[in-house]
Structure 1
Amino acid sequence: MNNYESDIENKMEVSWEADCKEVPKTEVEVSWKAFKKRISKRSWKRKRTLSYKVFGAAAVLAVIFTGYFFLNVYNPNIQVVNNSSLDKEITLPDGSLVLLKPNSGIHYKERFENTRGVSLTGEAFFKVVKDSMKVFKVKTATTTTTVLGTSFTVNQKRGLKDAKIALYTGKVLVSVKGRLESWAIIPGESFVYEKDKIFIEKFETDLSFETGNEFIDVNNIELEKLLDFLEDRFNCEFQKNTYTKNKRITLRVNKSDSLKQVLNILSIINNTKYEMNPKTKEVQILKK
């Protein structure tokens, strides 16, 4: 081992003390230029690769910006808010009719292209033009109502999750945000989402001002069904009795009628007397 190390040291010493031939300056310059050329080529390749990446990113941004510009400038959102005390009539791009209720808002695209849809806050009645190729969707904060062509109301209570969808004609499919199930309802049914619970209610499709009617002609309808309608409309409660059971009635109810006016008409037609407690809003039905 020691002999091997000594041999290495001797060879290094000889090399160190040996004479070195001087390299011509021209050869040094040629070698230096060749080295610089190799370095510059590698640098240019790196710059070119970087340029391609920058150009590609710029192209992607340009496409995104162009698409966004086209969608929002050439097909902008339309927003309508009804701050009046009356229904506001709106005709959508496909010809569908919306009656926007007071203190409600809606927004939609200026043109319906691949899909038809609106976003709603508050309440509105929809009469949707049928299109078998394009479904129509009404979205609220908690529900999505999907239809092809039908008439219905959607009521999303402001500031709450609670919602109600009432169907007059056709068929709709209702889904709730955060739930996998969907519910299909038929005319005369209301989908009710209240306090995180879901249930279906029945109602008379002819007894409604939500569709834009100024009056309702009630023809030979059960009196108790009319009283149910009046309870919802005027936030009162009728004390039904044996007199109201199986009783039928025919009359016209105007949209502008007050509860007192309707009760006066009923008292004349049925020879009855109606007394309402102003505190509890309970209405008693008495025979004259």
Structure 2
Amino acid sequence: MNDKKIEDELKKIWDETPVSHSDSEKKASWEAFQSKAFPVEKKKFKIWRYAAAAAILIFLSVGLGTYFNNDPLQDEIFASSNVIENTTIKIKTVFLPDSSKVDLSPHAKIRYANNFESNRKIEVEGEAYFKVKKDKKHPFQVFCNQTITKVLGTSFTVTQQDENGVIVELFEGSVEMSVANQDKKWILKPGEKFTYGNKVAEVAEFSRFMDFEDEKLSIVGTYIESNYGYKVILPEEYSNEKITVRINKKEDLKTIIQLISEMYNLNYEINEKLKKITFH
């Protein structure tokens, strides 16, 4: 095969390579490669030069995403990914392939790879609450903007503040926080939150409980509706009953319902279709 045919074949493969850049950028990169591999003044090419040109092209075909996007992390996680987005105005519960639970706030989105059970890395846009299944062999990592939250088994929220800001609130267990291009690590304890913004990281305390002090039972019902999306129907004679209770802000809804049921000796029914809880 002569030089011209080899050049034409390489050009054909180059043009067929799927990339996320414009035709003009693609053309410019080809011309740069062409000028080095096939100079105007034709010389006798040895076999190793053809092999080298082919090797370069193979490398580019496999690694064009990394070369152009310059985001190895994104390539690693999302080469073949699943995307789940909450397009509703209520919290959406998602169970990941490893049985970890995610509560997606309205307009939030997560992405994770198809091999998630062995590669437990996930990206968050918006706000999401995680309850992670323990797996010491496969640490769970959440990526949001420039931060990484690394856990073994715990529950926490990750909230994307803006283009660069992130807030992580820890409810149970412990997590290790890190920031891109920084060596420092932050270990959070329950009741601590990590805030990152404008290239500054801080750790502070936050309240992970909701306290009801001698409140009407109907107020707890309103809280459940606002935070879990279920309307609570109480017997009329119980609406003004008083309650004093502390609830973890990320407590499972069923635990709260059972607590009320036992405290007031009430039965209950849950209508998932109508998102309604009826006590009687």
C-alpha displacement of 1:137: 0.6
1:85 pairs with 2:83: no
Mapped to 2, the partners of 1:166 and 1:88 lie a distance apart of 19
**RMSD between aligned alpha carbons?**
3.8
1:74-153 equivalences in 2 (<5 Å): 76-112=80-116, 114-153=118-157
Partner residue of 1:161 out of 156, 161, 164:
164
CA positional deviation for 1:48? 3.1
CA distance in 2, matches of 1:145, 1:166: 11
**Matched residue count:** 178
1:189 to 178, 187, 192: 192
Identical residues among aligned pairs (%): 29
Which residue of 2 is the match for residue 48 of structure 1? 47
Distance 1:59 1:156 in 2: 38
| Rg comparison, structure with higher value | 1
Shift in CA distance, 179/62, structure 1 to aligned 2, threshold 3 Å: closer
Deviations 1:112-170 (A, max 9, x none): 2653111101100101111111111111113211001111111112x343322111221
Residue number among 175, 178, 190 corresponding to 2:178 in the alignment = 175
Q: CA deviation at 1:107?
A: 0.7
- Give, in whole Å, the separation in 2 of the partners of 1:61 and 1:153: 39
Q: Tell me if structure 2 keeps the 8 A contact 1:75–1:111.
A: no
Normalising by structure 2, report the TM-score: 0.52
CA distance in 2, matches of 1:137, 1:202: 22
Q: What is the distance in 2 between the residues matched to 1:172 and 1:90?
A: 21
Note the C-alpha offset of 1:98: 0.7
1:95 deviation in Å?
Answer: 1.6
Unaligned runs of 5+ in 2: 1-42, 65-74, 228-237, 244-280
Q: Is the 8 A contact 1:192 1:201 kept in 2?
A: no
- Does the 8 A contact of 2:97 with 2:117 survive in 1? no
Residue 256 of structure 1 aligns with an amino acid whose one-letter code is: E
Query: Contact conserved, 1:100 with 1:124, CA < 8 A, in 2?
Result: yes
Normalized against structure 1, the TM-score is what?
Answer: 0.51
